[in-house]
Amino acid sequence: MFEGKLSALFRVSSLMLFLAGVVSPAFAIYEDSIQFSQSGVIDDNDTYLYAPMVMFDEVEGKYKLWACGGVAGDHIIYKESPRLERLKDVGWYSAFKPSGLEDKFDGEHTCDPSVLREGNNIYLYYGGQPLDSKVAKIGVAVSYNGGRDFYRLHGGVPVLEPRLPWEGGYGVGQPSVVKNPLDGWYYMIYTNQNGAIKTLEVIKSSTPEFTPSTIEHVTTIDPTIPSSWSVDLVWNPSRNHFVIVGNNSSGEDVNKLRVKLTHYDRYWNYVGNTVFEKNIGWRFGEGVGVLTDSQKKLGGYFSGGTHSLVFMAATWDDSGAKCKFACSIEGPVMYAQFTEGQGGVFKNWLLDGYDIALFNPNGMSNIYQTRECRRGIFR
């Protein structure tokens, strides 16, 4: 069971540390310093429930979850609890639903929530699809009651649409937003699929509403780098880096959880990546998220007095039974926690204090929990 609590100041965790081999010999990763610790159910998922966004809202002292849920079309559902592990005991309800209007971009589906607190307001970034087609576009909504109900901004008009010429495909959607506290801009990563074009795009806005006149394009990312669609974008305050969280589980091993963190500096230069994996008996499905504070910062979740990193997602239904919707979103919503091991944490020799970004730019960054090793050292 979770025993930890996010500190009110959400202080930076010392869970993970920069281990880049800038000199020879390369630094080693000690298995007993960062290890898988536990997993559990967040929601039993009676229909389908996926792409969860989970935060600890330090303003209210509650863990909050938003996700894409099957109601009548895709609704953005909500649940909350003062303890993370007790989210499974709480029923959810619809915090934001399709407009139902033929002339609106989100008439049938509202999905893939990304949520960010700014002062007393909580902003929702979501993908919408209309009644008459499946072309996705991105909209913004706002909540004045802590994320329990949302209201459309910009007159219900999308802030992002597929570029012309339109050649078919998914469109633009699966947004994830974080604020860079150094420059004050809000950054969004989103899926862009238009004909043969299949990319992850990054834009920024000077306002959390993403008023179209304030939007600037930042960069295009090859999706093979994070190796995932439906990614989560968070901020690493220890190193002042962006981190993309993606699901790397595959059908080749249905019993293995695999999550990839891809690190970019504040200017969106690629830095490195980290892969967490564990033979656990199940695999994540679409839309892995990571627990953060209300401004999407990684940091101080403590469990049993140790720093922890908690991933969450729907799981695959690998029972062999015919799936009603999509097998990748019909299993229970699960969490997987990685934490400090008995070896403690590494002191960061590059910065004063501790870091939360364990990676090697040379690619030697996988944390294998089952691979044999000499004295717990991976080289």
Model pLDDT for residues 158-215, shown as the tens digit of each residue:
999 999 888 999 999 999 999 999 999 999 999 999 999 999 999 999 999 999 999 9
When comparing pLDDT for 363 and 305, which is higher? 305
Task: Compute the average pLDDT of residues 220-238.
Answer: 91
Q: How confident is the model at residue 345 (pLDDT cuts 50, 70, 90)?
A: very low
Which pLDDT value is given to residue 110?
A: 96
Q: What angle do CA 33, 39, 40 make, to 5 degrees?
A: 160
Task: Compute the average pLDDT of residues 68-78.
Answer: 86
Name the residue with tokens 């009644």. Answer: 131
Which pLDDT value is given to residue 33?
A: 52
Which pLDDT value is given to residue 366?
A: 39
**Residues facing 374 on adjacent strands:** 377
Give me the DSSP letters along 269-314: -EEEEEEEEEE-S--B-S--EE-EETTSB---EEETTEEEEEEEEE
The answer, yes or no, to whether residue 341 has pLDDT greater than 80, is no
Of the options 1.25.40.10, 2.115.10.20, 3.10.129.10, 2.40.30.20, the CATH number for the domain spanning 29-378 = 2.115.10.20
Which pLDDT value is given to residue 300?
A: 57
Give me the DSSP letters along 68-95: EEESSSEEEEEEEESSGGGGGGS--EEE
| CA-based end-to-end distance of the chain | 33
Which pLDDT value is given to residue 42?
A: 86
Range of 187-201, 333-347, 361-375 with top mean pLDDT:
187-201
Kindly report the average pLDDT of the chain as a whole number.
79
Model pLDDT for residues 126-142, shown as the tens digit of each residue:
999 999 888 999 999 99
Coil, helix or strand at residue 49: strand
Contacts of residue 271, defined as CB under 8 A and 6 or more positions apart, other chains included, come to: 241, 263, 264, 265, 359, 361
Which pLDDT value is given to residue 146?
A: 97
Contact indicator for 356, 238 with CB cutoff of 8 Å: yes
| Percent of the chain scoring above 70 in pLDDT | 78
**CA proximity to 226, closest of 206, 201, 208:** 201
Half-sphere exposure of 378 (CA within 13 A, CB side): 19
Model pLDDT for residues 280-305, shown as the tens digit of each residue:
888 898 889 999 999 998 865 656 65
**CA proximity to 312, closest of 344, 335, 279, 281:** 335
Please tell me whether the overall predicted TM-score, pTM, comes out greater than 0.75 for this model. yes
The answer, yes or no, to whether residue 224 has pLDDT greater than 80, is yes
The answer, yes or no, to whether residue 308 has pLDDT greater than 80, is no
Which pLDDT value is given to residue 363?
A: 38
Which pLDDT value is given to residue 161?
A: 95
Token pair belonging to 333: 């919503």
Model pLDDT for residues 15-55, shown as the tens digit of each residue:
332 223 222 222 333 444 567 778 888 888 777 888 889 99
| Percent of the chain scoring above 90 in pLDDT | 47
Task: Compute the average pLDDT of residues 114-125.
Answer: 97
